[in-house]
Amino acid sequence: MKYQNIVILTGAGVSAESGIPVFRSEDGLWERHKVEDVATYEGFMRNKTLVHEFYNKMRLSLPSKEPNAAHKAIAHFQEEWQKQGGDVFLVTQNIDDLHERAGSKQVCHMHGELLKMLCENCHSSFPFSGSSSVESKCPYCHHQALRPDIVWFGEMPYDMDEIYAKLVKCDLFLAVGTSGVVYPAAGFCQIAAGSGAVCVEFNLEKSLTASNFTYGIYGKAGETVGKFTDHLLKTGNLLNFS
């Protein structure tokens, strides 16, 4: 079977192999901070300085992180599959730029981007690579109303209409390094499967939604994803893959 429309979802497990901290941890902390303090709008309103400083630290450390083999395999697969007449839509829960630096020309950041700021006054989003503070001004409206352009808990992820449209059209859905606990992404497999897609999860171990997938491939994404995509490029199907 030759798959025409493929959707790839990547989560924290992919970036973790490049040294990016995992957003959700068993102790409820993210880089030694309570998630509700640095990843909710309520936390931002309580202490804007803390939140700016938290994301400044992450942003300034980003250049020291490098794309790993999984990022590169996905970028290569996107390019080569398109040459074969197919479509690969990449949607990520990650806020880093490792997919782009690996060579992916299309990346849908459903949870926002670390290298962008959002103005709460004029709603402009723009690239930003430095340090922000409560005094930082929007380059468009000049108000001191900036926040990281990150989708926090309780906020609606970006581009959901486009994502759902791709899911219902896809015939192969790949989830790489996702925990299966963060919605709406945790429900993407069911949507794709409901439209007849084959669904494959790549993880260190079975996710909480593993039973929804057709197949599970377990191990480091840097080792498994490239092997899988190379097989798909050569054969066009999943037969005899091991």
| Catalytic center residues | 111
Angstrom distance (rounded) from CA 1 to CA 172: 11
Cβ burial of 200 (10 Å; 0-12, 13-18, 19+) is: buried
Angstrom distance (rounded) from CA 170 to CA 182: 21
Collapsing DSSP to helix, strand or coil, 130 comes out as coil
- List the one residue out of 109, 191, 90, 118 whose CA is nearest residue 157: 109
Q: Where are the alpha helices (DSSP H) in the chain?
A: 12-16, 35-38, 41-46, 48-61, 69-83, 98-102, 160-169, 188-194, 221-235
Pair of tokens at residue 213: 């997938």
Angstrom distance (rounded) from CA 194 to CA 147: 37
Angstrom distance (rounded) from CA 11 to CA 163: 15
Q: Cβ–Cβ contacts within 10 Å for residue 130, how many?
A: 10
Sheet bearing 125-127, strands edge to edge: 125-127, 112-119, 146-150
The region, left, alpha or beta by phi > 0 then psi within -120 to 50, assigned to residue 177 is left
